[in-house]
Structure 1
Amino acid sequence: MNEIVFGTDGWRATLDTFTEERVRIVAQAAAEYFREQDATTVGVGYDARETSPRFARALTEVLAGNGLDVVVSERDCPTPVLAWTLKDRQLDGGLVVTASHNPPEYNGVKFLSPDGSPAGEAITDRLESLLAEPDLRPEAEHGTVSEENLVPEYIRHALAFTEADITGLSVAYDAMHGSGRDVTDALLAEAGADVQRLRCELDPTFGGGSPEPTADKLDTLVERVTEGDAELGFANDGDADRLAVVTPGRGFLDPNLLYAALYEYLLESDGGPAVRTVSTTFLVDKIAAAHGEETVEVPVGFKWVAQGMQDAGALCGGEESGGFGITRHLRNKDGVLIALVVAAAHTERPLDDRVDAITAAHGDIYQDRISVDCPDDRKAAVLDELDGSLPETILGVSVDRVDTKDGFKIFLADGSWLLVRPSGTEPKLRVYAEADSESHVEELLDAGRDIVEPLV
């Protein structure tokens, strides 16, 4: 049980640790928690990994064996589809078997609240305290299990929510063999787009890589768009809660710029603050200020974004890794519905034009990150050693201040920043940097690596 630890987005581990026995232990803890909340009906979903259906069955058996009625997706489905279903049907919470963007040798469990938002720290702490071997009731007291196709109702909602008409828009969609296939592309097609499909076949190995929609993994999608075969490109991660966008002029669009453009588009018809993580661009703050709105900064992890969306009455929330949510729809990231929103924004004004106008008004920004290998049991020690020993200057520029909301975010006098924080899903430390040029970002990342590596 010591191996089961909930990080920034549930419990995730390699398959030598993520075993069916431990999945059943998590299910028993969830059942105990649900009973404390007087729950009656819960949802279960899973992604496209080879092991996920089996793990989902294990979860379902234990939950139903504890007297809960369980609604199970009949096929692998995007996490946001299950999340919205919980909210729409007023279910009492849910679990999704997924390791999101991690490679096939990983799996995981995400716990969702009744409104579809990620479980907050109070809930995951309680789940960890309830971990125990399954203790099932007599068969006569078991709950019911119903397998359902959750996608059609979600698509009907997404079309009504966005009121998007993208008739004639040519888009390319890359599912990366994940659970967005036959969902994101179906939604775009239903709204009128002409959709070219890439990697939309079920492949539990994700083509031998990880289903993470980063620039280096989307060459074919970028080529389709930049060579004129499609006007816009979309890609989802493994469980389709994240979104990448490709434009004709910029190719792979930096998710920071995507969030800035998305927020400004939403402000055309609505109002409210934006929530962003500490690793997300200050460009969002500039857009908020220009519209008389505020920005709320939270630690990395969409559970913190979701909480910030609620506390601030925010219009939306987002993070630099491509996770974005609209509060009225769902306090969770949704790479399916947001694809349609972005497509609708593009039909009104090309996305490249939107981004160009933003950078012309507020200045160019560049951001990147690197990872430094660090065993999980060394992360806390490394951060302890960093505390109080950070340099007074970096690359000859003085340090203005340091924020410790999540790791160490170092603000420099020239307006750039450097962030060091532990990954919540992998044995790594993340180093982020933002500055006014790509070369400056690279130099900051090198400096960050030089600070961190000797301590690991």
Structure 2
Amino acid sequence: MSAVRFGTDGWRGVIADDFTFDGVLVVSRAIGRYLLDHGMGGREVLVARDARFLGDAFSRLCAGELSSMGLEPVLLEGVSATPACAHAIVSRRAAGAVMFTASHNPPHYQGMKFIPHYGGPAFSEITSEIERNIADLLVSEPRPKRRPFEGEEVDLSQAYLDHVRSLVGDLGRLDGVRVAYDGMHGSGGRYVKPLLQSLGVDFVCLRERPDPTFGGVSPEPKAETLRDLISLCERDGYLGLATDGDADRFGVVDIGGVFFPANRVLALLYWYLLREGKRGGVARTVSTTHMLDAIASRRSQRCFETPVGFKHLAKLMLAEDVLLAGEESGGMSVKGHVPEKDGVLACLLVVKMVSSTGMSLSALWEELVEELGFQLYSRRRDVECSSEEKARILARMEGEDLSSRFGLPVSKELRVDGLKLVFEDGSWVLIRPSGTEDMVRIYAEAFSPSQVDQLIARAEGLLEV
């Protein structure tokens, strides 16, 4: 068996190639050892899965291995959303959970990750210890015995549904609000449908049934994968909502078929929550819109900036007064919820925002822009490159001053995650080599689409790929 890289998102791989039953046994034992070493042997350990191939077999194998170590596994019934699993950890005071999911990766991928007792992404010090355990076990116990779990599955979904409904509250006026929800054949339909029903929302569903093939596409809610939802919203006037494979990311389409990027949704939700009398700062990753900064500043709230990855936002949610935490890739959470991104909650908050104001997302955006006096446009460009080219780009970013190559005065240079240049006019560009793929991501935000395109073109020129 080859080495296993276990990060914040756990271990992911192609099924039957590098993601195997033997690997699941080793990683399960490494997680079990971590829990025992930290005195959590007497607490429950939840084991859950989304809709991916062999999720049931993998989760039962994991639960059996944890049980053989003297731990107390609880196998969750059916397909689960990652945020629902995270909530169950906190509500039951469990030691943590093993979640089988590869999130928005293509259908032939599977994955498993560890969610600690606080109900959010595992911090680096935790995953590093588990990874060391894996390396040790690959030498000492490369092929442990298989002990499938024979216990009953437990349905813990209702407590999560009740919690989300309590966070959302009354939707206000529902006249004229019709919702189209696209589950992308993931696990989100198990939660979004009953929530919409209980709140009295008129809705229709697309791709609601869990399917391990995800209809032959990667279950990532973006404009390119939501064409049917966009067409339905354009034709019939629905507000469109979508969640990814494990329902921790969201996608939103306005009435009229306009896809709303996560950056705009996050800005609207934070602005709306503050207008509703909520208080607290906002936490965003280095690649996420500065519209959040402007909203926080106008309301005398703090804005926190972190490296990319929700684990950094989770730490802030646990330590600071944060009302909303979000990232441009479609993850968010709010005060009072678990420090884990939640696409289900995001979708319901969007419905509440539209129903309680009686305004479309586009109309709300115009009002926000009028209040701020400006708007920012943002875009991301993924540039594929070889591992050697990525290493060369990293070395160049560390050894050269690239700020002068953009022809704009720089007010701030950040290197918390890649190279970010903030220019004096408020526009910015981020060059960030991926930590998991042979790819460099370029993010830019400015006051016009043409300025964004220009920043991205100049950054891409610097890469020389």
Using structure 1 for the length normalisation, give the TM-score.
0.93
Q: How many residues align?
A: 451
- State the Cα deviation string for residues 402-453 of structure 1 (Å, max 9, x = none): 2100111122343221111133443322111111122222222222222224
- Once residues 283 and 324 of structure 1 are traced to their aligned partners in structure 2, the CA distance between those partners, rounded to angstroms, is 15
- Once structures 1 and 2 are overlaid, which stretch shifts more, 212-221 or 395-404? 395-404
1:450 corresponding residue in structure 2: 461
* Contact 1:69/1:143, CA 8 A, preserved across alignment: no
Q: How does 1:56-95 map to 2 (within 5 A)?
A: 56-95=59-98
- Once residues 345 and 20 of structure 2 are traced to their aligned partners in structure 1, the CA distance between those partners, rounded to angstroms, is 32
SS at match of 1:245: strand
2:264 corresponding residue in structure 1: 257
1:121 corresponding residue in structure 2: 124
* Contact 1:370/1:430, CA 8 A, preserved across alignment: yes
2:339 corresponding residue in structure 1: 331
- Once residues 428 and 444 of structure 1 are traced to their aligned partners in structure 2, the CA distance between those partners, rounded to angstroms, is 18
Counterpart selection for 2:402 from 381, 385, 391: 391
* Contact 1:3/1:17, CA 8 A, preserved across alignment: no
2:221 corresponding residue in structure 1: 213
- Once residues 84 and 194 of structure 1 are traced to their aligned partners in structure 2, the CA distance between those partners, rounded to angstroms, is 27
Task: Specify whether residues 394 and 377 from structure 1 end up closer, same or farther in structure 2 by C-alpha distance, changes over 3 A only.
Answer: closer
- Once residues 336 and 158 of structure 2 are traced to their aligned partners in structure 1, the CA distance between those partners, rounded to angstroms, is 20
Gaps of 5+ in 2: none
Gaps of 5+ in 1: none
Task: Specify whether residues 90 and 443 from structure 1 end up closer, same or farther in structure 2 by C-alpha distance, changes over 3 A only.
Answer: same
What value does the CA root-mean-square deviation take over the aligned residues?
Answer: 2.3
Are 1:296 and 2:307 counterparts?
Answer: no
Which amino acid in the other structure matches residue 260 of structure 1?
Answer: A
SS at match of 1:72: strand
- State the Cα deviation string for residues 157-206 of structure 1 (Å, max 9, x = none): 22223223365531000011111123212212221111110111232111
What is the deviation of 1:8? 4.6
SS at match of 1:200: coil
1:352 corresponding residue in structure 2: 362
- Once residues 49 and 305 of structure 2 are traced to their aligned partners in structure 1, the CA distance between those partners, rounded to angstroms, is 31
* Contact 2:26/2:144, CA 8 A, preserved across alignment: no
* Contact 1:12/1:18, CA 8 A, preserved across alignment: yes
- Once residues 389 and 448 of structure 2 are traced to their aligned partners in structure 1, the CA distance between those partners, rounded to angstroms, is 33
What is the deviation of 1:328? 0.8
Are 1:188 and 2:196 counterparts?
Answer: yes
SS at match of 2:322: coil
Are 1:13 and 2:13 counterparts?
Answer: yes
* Contact 1:70/1:143, CA 8 A, preserved across alignment: no
* Contact 1:9/1:302, CA 8 A, preserved across alignment: no
What is the deviation of 1:385? 2.3
Counterpart selection for 2:280 from 264, 272, 280: 272
1:361 corresponding residue in structure 2: 371
Are 1:233 and 2:236 counterparts?
Answer: no
Which amino acid in the other structure matches residue 196 of structure 1?
Answer: V
1:53 corresponding residue in structure 2: 56
SS at match of 1:357: helix
Using structure 2 for the length normalisation, give the TM-score.
0.91
1:44 corresponding residue in structure 2: 47
Which amino acid in the other structure matches residue 449 of structure 1?
Answer: E
Counterpart selection for 1:147 from 130, 153, 159: 153
Task: Specify whether residues 216 and 396 from structure 1 end up closer, same or farther in structure 2 by C-alpha distance, changes over 3 A only.
Answer: same
Counterpart selection for 2:420 from 393, 398, 409: 409
- Once structures 1 and 2 are overlaid, which stretch shifts more, 320-329 or 3-12? 3-12
Task: Specify whether residues 378 and 55 from structure 1 end up closer, same or farther in structure 2 by C-alpha distance, changes over 3 A only.
Answer: farther
- State the Cα deviation string for residues 331-369 of structure 1 (Å, max 9, x = none): 111111221122111111123332211122221111111
* Contact 2:11/2:111, CA 8 A, preserved across alignment: yes
Task: Specify whether residues 75 and 453 from structure 1 end up closer, same or farther in structure 2 by C-alpha distance, changes over 3 A only.
Answer: farther
Task: Specify whether residues 62 and 382 from structure 1 end up closer, same or farther in structure 2 by C-alpha distance, changes over 3 A only.
Answer: farther
Which amino acid in the other structure matches residue 223 of structure 1?
Answer: S
* Contact 1:261/1:355, CA 8 A, preserved across alignment: yes
